[in-house]
A and B are shown apart, each in its own frame.
Chain A
Amino acid sequence: MQSIARAPFRAVFLAEILINLRRVAPYAMMALFSGNALLWWGAGPATYRGWSTNSEHFILSMMSVFSFMTCPLFTAVIMGEPVIRDFKVGIDPLIFSKPVSRAEYLLGKFFGNFFVVVCCQACFALTLFGLQGVSVSGMIVGPVQVAPYFKHFFFIVVLSHLFLAILYFTVGSLTRNVRIVYGLALSFYPVYITWQVAVLKKMPGWRVILDPMAFNWGDAITHGHDAEWLNQATLSYTADVIANRGLVVLLSAACFAFLYARFSRVERSRDREARGRTSIFNLTPQSERLYEEVGMAGLVETTEFWQAPAASAPLPIVRTVGTGLRENFARFLAALGVELRLLRAELSLIVVLPIAIFMCGLEVAYFGGGTGQSYSAAYASVTAEVSLLFLLGIGVFYTGESMHRDRELRIEPLLWSAPARNSILLLSKFAAVFMILFSLITLLTLISMAAQFYKGHGPVELLPYLTIHSVISVPNIIFMVGASVFLNVLLRDKYLTYAVSIATGVALYYLFTQGHNNWLYNFVLFRQWAYSDLTGEGSHQARILVQRVYCLALTALCLGLAHLLFERRSSRGVLGEGLSSGRGLAALAAIASAAIAVLTALILARAS
């Protein structure tokens, strides 16, 4: 009898795991968390403070920082949507018409997804655990440890994120609006830092009890000790930490009880007058809530459509323009507007952009100001360098999304039967992603300038920022997006393109670390320039400018080839409509840019 009662819970639990197994996010999180562990192991405090990479102190500090810095947004990615997804895809009536209790449904949903979150987070701990077996010169590795990895992972990471997960899950389930969940996740950092600085810091020793992340609790024990002592130290949980963890579990249970009490499976009111109202837990107007909107659509169908058939008024005659430059530019602007609107609607962008801004902002905030050049040049240089990885990642990812969106949404037949040139369809995607990246670099520049001003590293000069971004960052963006457009057209598979892009990036970085940094394949001039080079004070100004022309020529070649290889055809042959057609011009542009690329490559080769 008991097993029958548990069956719905198990079914919901397993279904959630299966759904997550078919998503990209958990795998991306696993890779990211493992990479994170690798990075902090290889380039973290262990290497320059003399800490043993498997000492309990190191393990604990890694878990604490991982739990605070890396995880919160990703927990929201998994935990915010489970219930919303059911209402979005319309499977809710099928589930709720079965003998599934509210508790079974909510518990199954929650634990199914939380299990996935924990599995992803475990990749961090397991990678650190596995890295005990690896030692590089200058790194201290103690005797093999097992229990501390699992103990600290469970106490610091899992229990802290149990509370965050249930908070996100509750808000997502009650509001049925994923944007609120992401908003909450983004506000985690300012709220938590304020809580630490404004409240906890001023409290006596037992303040640890009130810290939901148990961040820095070990500091009181380890503070003032040298590396040798820390490498030998065994850390056991004190009464206040155990009380803290107990409080977190109690809070989580209370949060779930609240959700259980408030969650309703019945269809919400379709009262039109209720549109726009807000309440404490229905934080958005109804127009933002999926379930309600579907209901409104149905209402339009039944009350207005069939009772009031359309009048047979004639359609107005409209003039359609030809295919001149001006007309095509108007079409391009229309396509660009839609592409930007669609990119703006990407939920992941709401998460990724703030992470990029936060990480780059942190780097700039702790930047000392450098030496030997103006503060503005130093700040602009560090902004250009730290933003490179984000620009590359965001550029490749959103170009892929943009290039394959039309096929995934099955809108291609409609678009491709419209009299818009292939160049319009391709360049609008290129330009939209470029504009997103350009906005990001502009925003980062403003943050950098503000940080410079706040820290008194004046004067804030515009020229170094303009010079560095116009010579380094902007051409890099153009190249990365152009190359990505070409790869997407050539490979015709989004994930294959991502894999090829990542592999190429990693290979080029590996070559760089091995000393192979020829400017012909160090396309983005990674660590090959200084501000003095750009102003002519250094020795590389002309060479850098030639390399930039080389990169832009390669971009034009990529775009020309993308146009020629684009799946949508306008004639039988490659040049079926002549040299003055879109494909003809693309072929000419590709040839011209290839010639420029070869010429500049020869100059660079000779100069090196």
Chain B
Amino acid sequence: MRPGSIWNKPDFLVSKRAMLEIKDLKKTYPGGVQALKATNLELPVGMFGLLGPNGAGKTTLMKILATLLEPDSGEANFRGIDLIDKKHEARRMLGYLPQEFGLYPSLTAEQTLNYFARLKGVADGKERRALIDALLERVNLSSARGQPVGEFSGGMRQRLGVAQALIGQPGLIIVDEPTAGLDPEERARFHNLLSEIVGEGTVVILSTHIVSDVSNLCGRMAIIRRGEIISVCSPREAVASIADAIWEATLPREDVPALRSRFAVISTQAFEGRLRVKVISRTGRPGEEFGLTQPTLEDYYFSLVTQAGSGN
């Protein structure tokens, strides 16, 4: 076993090259909404963050990769398997935690995992029981194993969702907006759990609109907006790219519209009756009130999203 891995991973799975390749993936919904515009991505092993505002096309991309949605055109290959045309084969190496999912309320946690394990093809009863025990232990639901899922809290259901996604050593794990609606403690716990998921040779795609999820967990990330990938880098590279370019000041509200016309305002926040404003400027100080501030991944994200939104 390698340190940091939750499975005793066979050697053939260990590779550093791109494992998931997405080429020119397009999807337009019947209503005319273009959810994906020629998306291209290469994902190596490890956890990859897909960041974007609501309605950016994240869930559409996740559903296509999870074999649940048919794209209009394009390719997606995971370890040489076509995720679009060989869906059944792809499902054997897939672990999926959707943004919204339900569970049979009358089944217990143990019965639920047993069902998914059998569907996944874990035929040996002894192995299955050992796996379910370990999974319940891993997501800390051992004490609630006999409890009907209908009585679980939101956090417990989410953890059971993660457990089912881990069945059968999946090579590709897709996690769509997993922390939405969780309280801070539950989110922290969830981050730990997700970081433990990443075995070597496993690709984990974390789709979220919460920037801190990506900065805490992901080695690489992409930002998607209106169906287009507008950035692919590591969180560290992202923050480094805006070093010495983020300026902050607290201004009267009436000054902000004029500022917007001259600079790219990336965020505003109400503070003691005034507005705390962050501006990106590579050409120097935007004004005397402004001071240089430590950039964050959130600043990078907002700078890209606002620039794309303003057409720059």
A: residues with CB less than 8 A from B are 290, 293-294, 296-298, 300-301, 304-306, 308-323, 327, 330-331, 334-335, 337-338, 341-342, 345, 409-411, 413-421, 424, 568-572, 576-577, 581-582
Contacts and interface: CB of A to CB of B under 8 A. Distances in A.
| Chain A facing B: main interface SS | loop
Contacts of A300: 143-144, 147, 156
7 contacts: A290-B151, A318-B130, A341-B106, A345-B106, A411-B104, A414-B103, A418-B91
Contacts of A306: 185, 189
A571 B168 contact: no
Given A314-B7, A318-B168, A419 B86 contact: no
Interface in B83-114: 84-89, 91-92, 94, 96, 98, 100-107, 111, 114
Nearest to A88: B150
Interface stretch (B132-140, B252-260, B282-290, B292-300): B132-140
B33 interface: no
A164 B60 CA distance: 52
Q: How large is the interface on B (under 10, 10 to 19, 20 to 34, 35 or more residues)?
A: 35 or more
Given A314-B8, A411-B101, A296 B107 contact: no
Given A294-B151, A330-B118, A414 B164 contact: yes
Nearest to B99: A413
Contacts of A410: 100-102
A331 B119 contact: yes
Contact of A317 (B67, B102, B169): B169
Contacts of B111: 338, 341
A334 B122 CA distance: 11
Given A309-B140, A314-B5, A417 B107 contact: no
A355 to B, nearest CB: 22
A334 B10 CA distance: 28
A410 B124 CA distance: 28
Nearest to B88: A570
Contacts of A335: 115, 119
A162 to B, nearest CB: 33
A570 to B, nearest CB: 5
Contact of A571 (B10, B66, B68, B86): B86
Interface string B177-214: 00000000100010010001000000000000000000
A18 to B, nearest CB: 24
A409 B104 contact: yes
Contacts of B85: 571-572, 576-577
A301 B68 contact: no
Nearest to A331: B119
B86 A577 contact: yes
Given A316-B127, A417-B94, A411 B102 contact: yes
Given A416-B67, A417-B96, 14 more contacts: A293-B151, A296-B147, A309-B189, A315-B135, A315-B138, A316-B134, A318-B130, A327-B123, A341-B111, A410-B102, A411-B104, A419-B89, A572-B84, A576-B85
Nearest to A344: B106
Contacts of A308: 140
B223 interface: no
B66 A323 contact: no
B37 interface: no
Residue among B92, B102, B137, B147 having the largest count of chain A Cβ atoms under 10 Å: B102
Contacts of A576: 85
B302 interface: no
A343 B116 CA distance: 18
Given A297-B153, A313-B134, A342-B104, A320 B88 contact: no
A416 B140 CA distance: 26
Contact of B152 (A297, A320, A322, A327): A297
B118 to A, nearest CB: 3
A331 B115 CA distance: 9
A290 B106 CA distance: 12
Interface of B: 1, 5-8, 10, 63, 66-68, 70, 84-89, 91-92, 94, 96, 98, 100-107, 111, 114-124, 127-128, 130-131, 134-135, 137-140, 143-144, 147-148, 151-153, 155-156, 161, 164, 166, 168-169, 185, 189, 192, 196
Nearest to A298: B153
A92 B261 CA distance: 52
A338 B118 CA distance: 11
B121 A334 contact: no
Contacts of B67: 416-417, 570
Given A331-B121, A334-B118, A413-B96, A315 B144 contact: no
Contacts of A318: 117, 122, 124, 127-128, 130-131, 168-169
A504 to B, nearest CB: 29
Most buried by A among B84, B86, B123, B139: B123
Contacts of A415: 119
A32 to B, nearest CB: 27
* Interchain residue pairs A-B with the least CB separation, the first 6: A334-B118, A410-B102, A345-B106, A320-B121, A409-B102, A419-B91
Contacts of B169: 315, 317-318, 320
Nearest to B114: A334
Contacts of A411: 101-104
Nearest to B123: A321
B116 A570 contact: no
A417 B8 CA distance: 24
B107 A341 contact: yes
A569 B151 contact: no
Contact of A297 (B98, B121, B140, B147): B147
Nearest to A576: B85
A606 to B, nearest CB: 44
A322 B6 contact: no
Give the interface centre of B1, B5, B98, B107 by most chain A CB atoms within 10 Å: B98
Most chain-B Cβ atoms within 10 A of its Cβ — which of A297, A305, A330, A415?
A305
A107 B125 CA distance: 53
A310 B139 contact: yes
Q: Which one of B115, B152, B156 has the highest number of Cβ atoms from chain A below 10 Å of its Cβ?
A: B115
A411 B101 CA distance: 5
A417 B6 contact: no
B187 to A, nearest CB: 13
B123 A310 contact: no
Contacts of B120: 320, 418-419
Contacts of B66: 413, 417
A312 B107 CA distance: 27
B110 to A, nearest CB: 13
A482 to B, nearest CB: 23
